[in-house]
Amino acid sequence: MQERMGNPALVLPAAMQALNALSQVPAETGLSPKLLELVNLRASQINGCSVCIDGHPRIAKKLGETDERLFAVSAWRDTPYFSDAERAALALTEAVTRVSDRADPVPDEIWDEATRHYDGKSLAALVIAIANINVWNRLNIATRQIAGAWKP
């Protein structure tokens, strides 16, 4: 496969600046960088973004994430490796990423569980993080970016 064009965020530097600024917001609210990488990986798995599936585990490993947890992200419900707060974040990630899969894309039970673990600012930051990785996934997929070219 060959990329169709350079990543639009690289072609348009103002877009890169905006997306990078947006990506800093969740970490600035105190959300764990490791949690954010789990979120990035799970959304990317759902979307089939090979660039992010390749890159985000590399970032997570640099942050001290374990292989067991990275290997299990796609099956987080069925493994003992994640806390209740992480499970709530992963459930929210799946719901927000799959907005067209059901009539009520983010059911109250998923939202309410997230509110049990995250305060208003943290929850807002988590939703922004999920939205941001979905933007990156769509940019990479639409332009057929090549996995392995980005080495974080």
Q: What is the CATH class of 31-143?
A: mainly alpha
Instruction: Please write down the long-range contacts of 88-95, taking CB distance under 8 Å and 24 or more positions apart.
Output: 88/113, 88/114, 88/116, 88/117, 88/118, 89/35, 89/38, 89/39, 89/114, 89/117, 89/118, 89/126, 90/38, 90/39, 90/42, 92/126, 92/127, 92/130, 93/39, 93/42, 93/43, 93/130, 94/42, 94/46
147/91 Cα distance (integer angstroms): 26
Confidence of residue 150 (pLDDT cuts 50, 70, 90): confident
Domain boundaries, given as residue ranges, for the chain: 31-143
pLDDT tens, residue by residue, 121-130: 999 999 999 9
For residue 145, which phi and psi values (nearest 5 degrees)?
-65, 150
Q: Average pLDDT, stretch 51-63?
A: 97
Amino acid (1-letter code) at residue 68: E
pLDDT tens, residue by residue, 8-56: 998 999 999 999 999 999 999 999 999 999 999 999 999 999 999 999 9
